């Protein structure tokens, strides 16, 4: 018998064993215990004000999520996609953006939307069923939520190609140079569209950051079902760098995303950021994670909570006082009130509204259907059956 043909190195040897802790390449600036550590490449001198700001953003984002979840339980929303546990990944990425940068979200980027100035109330419309995206994408440079998994990564790449043609990449003017960030999850990394987006972005050197929140679960399917190697290592095969960052560390996520965006703005092309995090809640409010994952895992990740670690750091270093927490608590309550009252006041679309905006101008065909439907509805007027 001859020796078996070698197809190259053993992947387990190359990529290492299971990396449930994030592995050796994980970029971290704040440990789960709230200890500030430094990284040779990705670091940032955070002012006390910046740190308090990031903390505030995460607390308010969690409040948006908790409030929306409660609204779903009360029957005010049909469904809600929860972000519990992913606050640092979203705020870190969201705060690294400049106003001229453009975001292409999934349907879970509530924290990023908040960073981009979208009123969180607007996010509820889709989930309440009163609209399919109630904000103007071009007002806040924040695209509509995208439910077909991964489709938006191609939109992001095309938008970035548009930026290249507009001459807003690599000019050296910080107010002009722009980039795009494409959000997606570990599940989406298996989609053809995401892989095509990688190829297009690499081919054209497009200024786009592919920001993957690996929250370990695609509904019930664990990350092992999507990939045999750490996701960030896929990037190299497409021809651009990939970095794994502790997605529960808002400081590291901010620093890494900022560097990736800057790289793109300067005309050095796409990169891939894998924010290693955990979906502490359900996929959506319709999901029941107890059917497919162990509570132990959740308990383990609770120890890595993105908000707690920054709170510990702020307190230990005397960067906050009780007044800060009291004020933030009041602000969070106000946010909750805004969402609760605002949600119930969101106007239902009218039956005749459904005919609008199929096209930029209504066609005669649709106008005829609208008129027919209006006449049908009118036929009930005055009847007292």
Partner 1 sequence: MSTTQKITLAKGLNMGLRKAMEDDDKVLLMGEDVGKLGGVFRITDGLQKDFGEDRVIDSPLAESGIVGTAVGMALRGYRPVIEIQFDGFVYPAYDQIVCQVAKYTYRSQGKVKMPIVIRIPFGGGIGAVEHHSESPEAQFAHTPGLKVVACSNPVDGYWMIQQAIAHDDPVIFLEPKRQYHADKAELDETATPEPLFTSRVVRAGSDATVLAYGPTVKTALKAAEAAASEGRNLEVIDLRTLSPLDMAPVFESVRRTGRCVITHEAHVNLGMGAEVAARITEQCFYSLEAPVLRVGAFDMPYPPSRIEEEYLPDLDRVLDAVDRTFAF
Residues that bind partner 1 (CB under 8 A): 104, 131-134, 136-138, 143-144, 146, 148, 151, 153-166, 180, 192-193, 196-197, 199-200, 203, 356-361, 363-366
Q: Which of 306, 339, 242, 335 minimizes the C-alpha distance to 90?
A: 306
Strand-pairing partners, residue 180, are 102, 208
Q: Are the CB atoms for 75 and 267 separated by under 8 Å?
A: no
Nearest-approach distance from CB 59 to partner 1, in angstroms: 31
The pair phi, psi for residue 29, each rounded to 5°, is: -120, -15
Question: Is 44 annotated as catalytic?
Answer: no
Q: Is 279 a catalytic residue?
A: yes
Tokens at residue 49, please?
Answer: 């004000």
As a whole number of angstroms, the distance between CA 128 and CA 349 comes to 11
Residue among 114, 279, 309, 313 flagged as catalytic: 279
Q: How far apart are CA 252 and CA 37, in angstroms?
A: 10
**Smallest distance, Å, CB 136 to partner 1?**
5
Q: Which of 95, 122, 183, 283 is catalytic?
A: 283
Which residue shows structure tokens 């077909």? 148
Question: How many whole angstroms separate alpha carbon 168 and alpha carbon 70?
Answer: 43
Q: Please, which residue, 325 or 355, has the CB nearer to partner 1?
A: 355
> Among residues 166 and 321, whose Cβ is nearest to partner 1?
166
Neighbours of 17 (CB within 10 A): 8
Judged by beta carbon, residue 320 or residue 362, the one nearer partner 1 is 362
CB of residue 128 to partner 1, shortest distance in Å: 15
Three-state secondary-structure class, residue 95: helix
Closest CB to partner 1 among residues 34, 133: 133
Half-sphere CA count of 267, side-chain side, radius 13 A? 13
Which is nearer to partner 1, 152 or 257 (by Cβ)? 152
CA 364 from chain centre, in angstroms, equals: 40
Question: How many other C-beta atoms lie within 10 A of the C-beta of residue 312?
Answer: 17
Residue 217: DSSP 8-state? E
Tell me the C-alpha to C-alpha distance, in Å, between residue 149 and each of 100, 218, 268, 305.
25, 11, 27, 26
Shortest spacing between CB 103 and partner 1, in angstroms: 12
Closer to partner 1 by CB, 326 or 365: give it. Answer: 365
Q: Is 160 exposed, middle or buried (0-12, 13-18, 19+ CB in 10 A)?
A: buried
* Whole-angstrom distance, CA of residue 99 vs CA of residue 354: 33
Shortest distance (Å) from residue 166 CB to partner 1: 7
Cβ distance to partner 1 smaller for residue 204 or 324 = 204
Q: How far is the CB of 64 from partner 1 (least distance, A)?
A: 22
Catalytic residue among 292, 300, 316, 337: 292
Minimum CB separation from partner 1 for residue 214, in Å? 22
Q: In the chain, how long is the greatest CA-to-CA distance?
A: 92
Q: Name the residue among 115, 78, 385, 157 with its Cα closest to residue 250.
A: 115
- 110 in active site: no
Catalytic residues: 279, 283, 292
């Amino acid at each position: 018998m001859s020796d078996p043909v070698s197809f190259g190195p053993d992947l387990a040897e190359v990529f290492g064993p299971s990396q449930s802790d994030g592995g050796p390449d994980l970029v971290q600036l704040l440990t789960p215990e709230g200890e500030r550590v430094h990284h040779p490449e990705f670091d940032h001198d955070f002012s006390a004000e910046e740190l308090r700001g990031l903390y505030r953003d995460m607390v308010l984002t969690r409040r948006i999520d908790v409030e929306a979840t409660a609204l779903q339980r009360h029957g005010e929303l049909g469904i809600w996609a929860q972000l519990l546990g992913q606050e640092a990944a979203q705020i870190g990425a969201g705060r690294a953006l400049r106003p001229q940068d453009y975001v292409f979200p999934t349907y879970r980027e509530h924290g990023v939307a908040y960073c981009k100035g979208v009123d969180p109330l607007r996010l509820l419309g889709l989930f309440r069923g009163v609209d399919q995206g109630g904000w103007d994408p071009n007002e806040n440079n924040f695209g509509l939520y995208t439910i077909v998994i991964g489709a938006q990564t191609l939109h992001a790449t095309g938008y970035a190609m548009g930026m290249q043609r507009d001459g807003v990449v690599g000019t050296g003017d910080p107010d002009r140079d722009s980039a795009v960030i494409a959000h997606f999850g570990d599940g989406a990394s298996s989609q053809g569209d995401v892989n095509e987006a990688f190829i297009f972005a690499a081919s054209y050197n497009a200024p786009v950051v592919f920001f993957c929140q690996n929250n370990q679960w695609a509904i019930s399917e664990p990350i092992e079902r999507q990939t045999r190697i750490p996701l960030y290592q896929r990037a190299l095969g497409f021809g651009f760098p990939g970095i794994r960052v502790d997605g529960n560390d808002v400081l590291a996520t901010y620093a890494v995303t900022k560097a990736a965006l800057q790289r793109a703005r300067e005309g050095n092309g796409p990169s891939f950021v894998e924010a290693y995090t955990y979906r502490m809640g359900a996929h959506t409010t319709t999901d029941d994670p107890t059917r497919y994952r162990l509570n132990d895992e959740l308990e383990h990740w609770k120890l890595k909570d993105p908000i707690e670690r920054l709170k510990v750091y702020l307190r230990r270093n005397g960067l906050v006082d009780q007044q800060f927490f009291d004020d933030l608590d009041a602000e969070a309550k106000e946010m909750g009130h805004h969402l609760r009252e605002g949600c119930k006041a969101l106007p239902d679309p009218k039956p005749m509204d459904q005919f609008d905006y199929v096209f930029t101008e209504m066609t005669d065909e649709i106008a005829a259907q609208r008129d027919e439907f209006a006449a049908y509805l009118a036929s009930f007027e005055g009847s007292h059956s």
